């Protein structure tokens, strides 16, 4: 059916037809346009233009390395940018001298330690090489670890055999996957190609904006929380402070869902999906094991008011690594204060506390002490290095009569968290399951993972108190 006439005019991204296409092609799996049409729109920003970078990505959102992109601005093959590599470690990549210089302040902490290491040439060598990296970093500054680990696990390598020592040919479409000479004819799955492109483009949008898009919808929803993102976006796409056509683009939608994932998880487990809207007086939400990047745009938690009736929201963040002194002072007040962004007048208070939850909770004022729900986002309570410090917190949470939601980036993490909780006698309200409101922004997994990408809050589980001892067993 080859056509000889002129190609029909393509609708622009700003046109209503495009919005229609978005909702017609969207599913809960992929509520974005599964095609490249959004890429030209991304490229209209500073990221694509190649002229400077609008706002430098804050260090907080710049931790993720990408194999074929500049370490600073994430430009690469997708925008036609030529990259040079760090001459010493040959791992970090840069679009220009200025960005190499800007990265050096942190990169110098690990560059020399990495430069002596053998790059892996097979799947098996990957696992061993991670041990080598850990040994090489012994005694290094904490900042060096994150940079080095990210550079290493996102090292350019063959997508089939994981060989990182030979010349690679990149996928011409996504510029994310690469193949060694033995696998030069190999291709990767279309869904993975889409995800790789989206991952890079999300970093590009953040590069333009300085920070991820994290906002809440503006008005009360007419019905209960729907079953997943497609229904959510069909219902709410007109209800954000940014123009709808922005949300018709894949990267902003991916970031929007990432920001709303945790608030909507709270809504789900507070009964927001029921026909009758749940009512609360003062709604207290505890976020335990909170990390500093989670402090971004706290007013996204106003999303709770769209689905629940509450007189006020009191949001309490507690985490041993919580840095409350910056870098975004607007979002990181230690004192309680009403927040009123978006014209919504329902009082919203935030209180952040650095420390372990079992130490902090007894010191909280009475009006903050008793939450209606506890959220443990990517707690890592199964992690060997954290399991000891989490134990007293888990026991406290199970003793409190309150639903506690745990999330993991992938199935493995959620199952491992569940095993730890089960061990401590937890009563499961919901076993580990794929979260319908997981973030939709893809992140490359480590080599050898079950799936090529992971997502924020991809898996979730909910526990509430302890299960009763089996009949006949006496309490000890
Ligand atoms: Zn750059
Ligand atoms: Zn280097
Ligand atoms: Zn290969
Ligand atoms: Zn590809």
Determine the distance separating the centroid of ligand 4 and the alpha carbon of 450, expressed in angstroms. 18
Determine the distance separating the centroid of ligand 3 and the alpha carbon of 185, expressed in angstroms. 10
Determine the distance separating the centroid of ligand 1 and the alpha carbon of 405, expressed in angstroms. 38
Q: Which ligand is nearest to the CA of 65?
A: 1
pLDDT at 209 over 60: yes
Q: Which ligand is nearest to the CA of 90?
A: 2
| pLDDT top residue among 56 and 81 | 81
Contact 188, 159 (CB under 8 A): yes
Please report the beta strands in 5-159, taking only residues with DSSP state E, as ranges in sequence order: 84-85, 93-94
Percent of the chain predicted with pLDDT > 70 = 85
Please report the beta strands in 225-308, taking only residues with DSSP state E, as ranges in sequence order: 279-288
Determine the distance separating the centroid of ligand 1 and the alpha carbon of 471, expressed in angstroms. 64
Domain positions in the chain: 26-199, 213-466
pLDDT at 131 over 80: yes
Give the Cα separation of 231 and 248 in Å (integer). 14
Q: Which ligand is nearest to the CA of 168?
A: 3
Q: Are strands 453-454 and 178-179 parallel, antiparallel or unpaired?
A: unpaired
pTM, entire model: 0.89
pLDDT at 215 over 80: yes
Determine the distance separating the centroid of ligand 3 and the alpha carbon of 122, expressed in angstroms. 8
Determine the distance separating the centroid of ligand 1 and the alpha carbon of 114, expressed in angstroms. 21
The two structure tokens encoding residue 370: 């008793």
Contact 75, 50 (CB under 8 A): yes
| Residue 11 β-bridge partners | none
Nearest to 267 by CA among 414, 403, 394: 403
Determine the distance separating the centroid of ligand 3 and the alpha carbon of 264, expressed in angstroms. 41
pLDDT interval class at 7 (50, 70, 90): low
Determine the distance separating the centroid of ligand 1 and the alpha carbon of 169, expressed in angstroms. 21
Q: Which ligand is nearest to the CA of 177?
A: 4
The two structure tokens encoding residue 337: 């204060």
Nearest to 42 by CA among 320, 252, 286, 315: 252
DSSP string across 327-351? S-GGG--SS--B--GGG--S-EEEE
Determine the distance separating the centroid of ligand 3 and the alpha carbon of 133, expressed in angstroms. 22
DSSP string across 20-80? HHHHHH--SS--S-SSGGGHHHHHTSHHHH-SS-SSPPPGGG-----TTB-TTT--BGGGT
Nearest to 161 by CA among 109, 118, 197, 125: 125
What letter does residue 416 receive in the DSSP assignment? H
161-180 b/e (C-beta count within 10 Å ≥ 16 → b):
bbbbeeebebbebbbbbbbb
Q: Which ligand is nearest to the CA of 112?
A: 2
Which segment, 1-15, 250-264, 329-343, is predicted with the most confidence on average? 250-264
SS3 407: strand
Q: Which ligand is nearest to the CA of 83?
A: 1
Determine the distance separating the centroid of ligand 2 and the alpha carbon of 84, expressed in angstroms. 11
pLDDT interval class at 303 (50, 70, 90): very high
Determine the distance separating the centroid of ligand 4 and the alpha carbon of 306, expressed in angstroms. 38
Quickly tell me which residue has 């903050």 as its tokens. 368
Lowest mean pLDDT among 31-40, 186-195, 323-332: 323-332
pLDDT interval class at 358 (50, 70, 90): very high
Percent of the chain predicted with pLDDT > 90 = 51
Contact 262, 317 (CB under 8 A): no
Q: Which ligand is nearest to the CA of 76?
A: 1
What mean pLDDT is predicted for residues 325-329? 51
Q: Are strands 279-288 and 373-376 parallel, antiparallel or unpaired?
A: parallel
Measured CA angle at 211 (ends 157, 150), to 5 deg: 25
Determine the distance separating the centroid of ligand 1 and the alpha carbon of 65, expressed in angstroms. 12
* Cis status of the peptide bond prior to 204, with omega within 30 of 0: no
Q: Which ligand is nearest to the CA of 66?
A: 1
Q: Which ligand is nearest to the CA of 161?
A: 3
Q: What is the pLDDT of residue 15?
A: 57
Measured CA angle at 247 (ends 246, 251), to 5 deg: 90
- pLDDT tens, 394-419? 999 999 989 999 999 999 999 999 99
What mean pLDDT is predicted for residues 423-444? 94
Contact 437, 228 (CB under 8 A): yes
Determine the distance separating the centroid of ligand 2 and the alpha carbon of 163, expressed in angstroms. 20
Determine the distance separating the centroid of ligand 2 and the alpha carbon of 383, expressed in angstroms. 29
Contact 222, 60 (CB under 8 A): no
Contact 144, 166 (CB under 8 A): no
Q: Which ligand is nearest to the CA of 196?
A: 4
Helix axes 97-107, 142-153, angle to 10 degrees: 130
Determine the distance separating the centroid of ligand 2 and the alpha carbon of 146, expressed in angstroms. 14
Complete edge-to-edge strand list for the sheet that includes strand 459-466: 348-354, 309-319, 279-288, 373-376, 403-408, 459-466, 426-434
What is the CATH topology of the domain spanning 213-466? Rossmann fold (3.40.50)
Q: Which ligand is nearest to the CA of 188?
A: 4
Determine the distance separating the centroid of ligand 2 and the alpha carbon of 126, expressed in angstroms. 19
SS3 230: helix
Exposed, middle or buried by CB within 10 Å (0-12, 13-18, 19+), for 105? Answer: exposed
Can you give the three-state secondary structure of 130-172, one letter per residue?
HHHHHHHCCCCCHHHHHHHHHHHHCCCCECCCCCCCCCCEECC
Give the Cα separation of 157 and 160 in Å (integer). 9
Q: What is the pLDDT of residue 114?
A: 95
Determine the distance separating the centroid of ligand 1 and the alpha carbon of 100, expressed in angstroms. 8
Give the Cα separation of 18 and 227 in Å (integer). 24
What letter does residue 183 receive in the DSSP assignment? G
Which segment, 127-141, 225-239, 309-323, 413-427, is predicted with the most confidence on average? 413-427
Q: What is the pLDDT of residue 323?
A: 78
- pLDDT tens, 228-275? 988 898 888 888 888 777 777 788 888 999 999 999 999 999 999 999
Determine the distance separating the centroid of ligand 1 and the alpha carbon of 71, expressed in angstroms. 6
Please report the beta strands in 13-145, taking only residues with DSSP state E, as ranges in sequence order: 84-85, 93-94
Nearest to 67 by CA among 167, 130, 153, 125: 153
337 to 247, 297, 373, 376: CA distances (angstroms): 30, 15, 21, 23
């Amino acid at each position: 059916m080859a056509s000889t006439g002129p190609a029909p005019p393509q609708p622009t991204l700003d046109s209503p037809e495009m919005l229609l296409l978005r909702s017609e092609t969207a599913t809960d799996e992929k509520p974005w346009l599964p095609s490249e049409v959004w890429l030209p729109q991304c490229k209209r920003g500073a990221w694509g233009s190649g002229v400077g970078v609008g706002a430098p990505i804050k260090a907080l959102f710049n931790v993720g390395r990408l194999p074929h992109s500049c370490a600073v601005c994430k430009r690469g093959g997708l925008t036609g940018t030529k990259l040079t590599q760090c001459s010493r470690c040959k791992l970090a990549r840069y679009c220009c001298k200025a960005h190499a210089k800007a990265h050096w302040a942190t990169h110098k902490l690990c560059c020399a330690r990495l430069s002596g290491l053998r790059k892996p040439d097979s799947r098996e060598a990957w696992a061993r090489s991670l041990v080598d990296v850990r040994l090489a970093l012994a005694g290094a500054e904490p900042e060096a670890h994150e940079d080095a680990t990210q550079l290493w696990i996102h090292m350019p390598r063959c997508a089939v055999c994981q060989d990182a020592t030979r010349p690679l040919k990149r996928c011409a479409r996504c510029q994310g996957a690469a193949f060694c000479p033995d696998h030069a004819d190999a291709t990767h799955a279309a869904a993975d190609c889409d995800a790789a492109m989206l991952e890079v483009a999300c970093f590009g949008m953040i590069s333009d904006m300085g920070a991820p898009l994290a906002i809440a919808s503006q008005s009360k929803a007419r019905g209960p929380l729907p079953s997943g993102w497609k229904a959510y976006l069909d219902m709410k796409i007109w209800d954000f402070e940014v123009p709808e056509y922005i949300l018709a683009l894949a990267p902003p939608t991916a970031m929007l869902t990432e920001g709303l994932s945790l608030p909507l998880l709270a809504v789900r487990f507070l009964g927001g999906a029921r026909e009758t809207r749940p009512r609360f007086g003062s709604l207290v939400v505890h976020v335990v094991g909170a990390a500093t990047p989670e402090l971004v745009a706290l007013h996204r938690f106003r999303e709770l008011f769209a689905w629940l009736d509450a007189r006020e929201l009191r949001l309490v963040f507690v985490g041993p690594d919580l840095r409350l002194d910056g870098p975004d002072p607007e979002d990181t007040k230690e004192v309680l204060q009403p927040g009123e962004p978006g014209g919504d007048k329902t009082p919203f208070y935030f209180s952040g506390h650095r420390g372990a939850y079992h130490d902090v909770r007894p010191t909280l004022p009475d009006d903050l002490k008793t939450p209606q729900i506890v959220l443990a986002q990517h707690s890592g309570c199964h992690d060997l290095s954290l399991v000891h410090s989490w134990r007293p917190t888990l026991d406290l949470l199970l003793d409190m009569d309150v639903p506690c939601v745990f999330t993991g980036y992938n199935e493995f993490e959620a199952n491992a968290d569940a095993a730890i909780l089960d061990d401590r006698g937890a009563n499961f309200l919901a076993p580990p399951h794929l979260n319908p409101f997981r973030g939709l922004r893809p992140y490359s997994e480590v080599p050898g993972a079950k799936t090529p990408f992971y997502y924020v809050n991809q898996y979730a589980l909910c526990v509430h108190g302890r299960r009763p001892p089996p009949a006949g067993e006496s309490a000890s």
